[in-house]
């Protein structure tokens, strides 16, 4: 019989006791430990349950303390939440079976979630080489091979307060599979009831900055360990190509944005740079009145090139390709979403100046989150400080976006092209550009990002969120492998 030790965080006494009794009733667990911090201790524990102190949940100290208590067992079960856990029949035996059959270092599964009193499915996605996000959703119940856990813990040299568990799974993934068992094996309480559009900016929230710095260190070391780290050496960008009709083109793909498109267009034509520019709007067969507005505006100002694609199979990325390959496209292609606005009349000048000053093939700006009345909303200014000239392109493999507004040196973008999808296409291009070129940064706010009920990511269900995250992980996997091959060629 396999020996299994379970490790729990301190929780309110009633909740903790419910979880402990649930674990005992499975008859699959040899030892149960409660992990206490200096400011969170258990008032009392049931018979047969032990405790030990840790510096903090998810810290390196927690990982190493677990390893010390797991030396005589076969498997480690870690529950990461404090609310009561309900385990399905023979679920722990099934997780152990999956670990044995696959040789995995870690097994995780789908679950049920109780959210606002209702039981819903909470599926998770497959782990792959590019699943480097520190917020990858494994669920709250993780089974580890004790030997894999201890081996990885012994390799952890950096002491992290926030990134210990993240560092552990990266190190396990270097030698073992992280296996997703697509079965609903337990029920957990859902504590984060925010809509998807309210969660996506957590990684750039200033209050999380200390944790993000630790996550970057752990990820960077992982990239070095697997041969995917890129030194801060970049190709020089030659801006000599001059066969462009204008210096810059603003590009807006749009579909059914009758409420916002005119504001976006007028914010472009409020620009006052010292060079010629135009606006290319790719109207992807709108049927809500957007087309009529664009036709009217194009008659007012000849700088507006209104394109309706001949084909009907284009996502946002395909619309971008249509624009950048158009004869009217300028030397620099500058993004504006149809929901949003430039902050002032100097945005285009600031962006184009940054290309020449920083010798980069792509520029990413800073934006401010606002509501439809243009009032600032949390988290406010999104400046992506995690992007640094020396390590930004490595850290880009960990985070889930590169920021906005984005702009590209058109010859480089024409060479790469944009994936014909409507989510993550900008991230895929940014990773590919950063493999060879520096990405310039502007920390002055250039852009007002209007959040409203019709934003494409405002309120996504778990299935759609999983599809989006799986795609970005796949993009990261492709880029990770490309960088490993690049390093091999350069050896």
Tell me the C-alpha distance between 279 and 334, whole Å: 9
In order along its 491 residues, the chain shows pLDDT tens digits of: 699 999 999 999 999 999 999 999 999 999 999 999 999 999 889 999 999 999 999 999 999 999 999 999 999 999 999 999 999 999 999 999 999 999 999 999 999 999 878 999 999 999 999 999 999 999 999 999 999 999 999 999 999 999 999 999 999 999 999 999 999 999 987 654 545 445 445 545 556 889 999 999 999 999 999 999 999 999 999 998 778 999 999 999 999 999 999 999 999 999 999 999 999 999 999 999 999 999 999 999 999 999 999 999 999 999 999 999 999 999 999 999 999 999 999 999 999 999 999 999 999 999 999 998 899 998 888 887 777 889 999 999 999 889 889 999 999 999 999 999 999 999 999 999 999 999 999 999 998 998 876 655 556 899 999 999 999 999 999 999 999 999 999 98
- pLDDT score recorded for residue 194: 42
pLDDT value of position 207: 61
364 contact partners, CB below 8 Å, separation of at least 6: 384, 387, 402, 403, 404, 405, 406, 407, 430, 439, 440, 441, 442
Residue closest to 74 by CA, chosen among 19, 145, 149: 145
Distance in angstroms (rounded) separating the CA atoms of residues 316 and 427: 12
For residue 199, what pLDDT is reported?
44
Instruction: Give every CB contact of residue 208 below 8 A, 6+ residues apart in sequence.
Output: 202
- Structure token digits, residue 420: 């014909």
Tokens linked to 440: 């310039």
Q: Identify the pLDDT of residue 204.
A: 54
Q: Which two tokens stand for residue 259?
A: 């409420």
Q: Which tokens hold the place of 361?
A: 């093939």
366-401 as b/e, with b when 16 or more CB fall inside 10 Å? bbbbbeeeeeeeebeebbbebbeeebbbbbbbbbbb
Instruction: For each of the domains in the chain, give its residue range(s) and CATH number, in order of start.
Output: 4-193 (3.90.550.10), 248-490 (3.90.550.10)
What pLDDT, on the 0 to 100 scale, is given for residue 384?
78
3-state SS assignment for residue 469: helix
> Rounded to the nearest 5°, which phi and psi values hold at 94?
-65, -40
pLDDT at 191: 53
* pLDDT at 43 (0 to 100): 87
DSSP summary character for residue 424: S
């Amino acid at each position: 019989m396999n020996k299994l030790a379970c490790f729990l965080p301190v929780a309110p006494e009633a909740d903790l006791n419910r979880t402990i009794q649930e674990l005992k009733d499975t008859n699959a667990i040899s030892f149960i430990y409660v992990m206490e911090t200096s400011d969170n201790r258990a008032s009392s524990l049931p018979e047969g349950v032990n405790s030990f102190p840790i510096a903090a949940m998810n810290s390196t100290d927690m990982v190493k303390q677990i390893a010390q208590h797991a030396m005589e067992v076969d498997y480690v079960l870690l529950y990461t939440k404090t609310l009561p856990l309900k385990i399905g029949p023979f679920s722990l035996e099934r997780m152990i079976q999956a670990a044995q059959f696959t040789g995995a270092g870690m097994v995780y599964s789908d679950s049920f979630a109780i959210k606002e009193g209702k039981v819903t499915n909470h599926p998770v996605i497959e782990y792959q080489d590019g699943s480097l996000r520190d917020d990858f959703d494994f669920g709250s119940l993780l089974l580890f091979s004790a030997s894999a856990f201890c081996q990885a813990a012994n390799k952890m040299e950096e002491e992290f307060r926030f990134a210990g568990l993240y560092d552990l799974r990266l190190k396990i993934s270097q030698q073992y599979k992280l296996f997703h068992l697509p079965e609903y094996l337990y029920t957990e309480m859902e504590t984060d009831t925010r809509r998807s559009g309210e969660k996506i900016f957590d990684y750039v929230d200033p209050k999380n900055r200390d944790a993000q710095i630790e996550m970057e260190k752990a990820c960077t070391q992982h990239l070095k360990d697997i041969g995917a780290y890129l030194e801060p050496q970049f190709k020089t960008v030659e801006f000599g190509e001059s066969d462009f009709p204008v210096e810059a083109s603003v590009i807006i793909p749009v579909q059914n944005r009758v409420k916002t498109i005119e504001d976006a267009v007028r914010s472009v034509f409020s620009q006052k740079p010292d060079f010629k520019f135009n606006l290319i709007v790719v109207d992807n067969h709108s049927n809500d009145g957007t087309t009529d507005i664009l036709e009217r505006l194009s008659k007012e100002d000849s700088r507006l090139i209104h394109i309706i694609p001949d084909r009907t199979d284009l996502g946002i990325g395909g619309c971008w390709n249509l624009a950048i390959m158009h004869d009217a496209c300028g030397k620099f292609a500058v993004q504006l979403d149809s929901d949003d606005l430039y902050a002032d009349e100097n945005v285009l000048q600031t962006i184009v100046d940054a290309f020449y000053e920083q010798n980069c093939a792509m520029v990413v700006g800073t934006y401010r989150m606002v509501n439809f009345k243009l009032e600032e909303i949390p988290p406010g200014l999104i400046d992506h400080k995690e992007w640094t000239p020396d390590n930004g392109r490595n850290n880009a493999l960990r985070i889930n976006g590169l920021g906005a507004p984005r702009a590209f040196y058109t010859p480089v973008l024409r060479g790469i092209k944009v994936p014909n999808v409507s989510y993550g296409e900008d991230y895929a291009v940014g990773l590919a550009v950063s493999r060879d070129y520096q990405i310039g940064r502007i920390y002055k706010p250039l852009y007002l990002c209007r959040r409203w009920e019709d934003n494409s990511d405002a309120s996504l269900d778990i299935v759609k969120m999983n599809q989006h995250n799986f795609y970005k992980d796949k993009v990261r996997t492709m880029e990770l492998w490309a960088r490993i091959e690049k390093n091999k060629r350069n050896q």
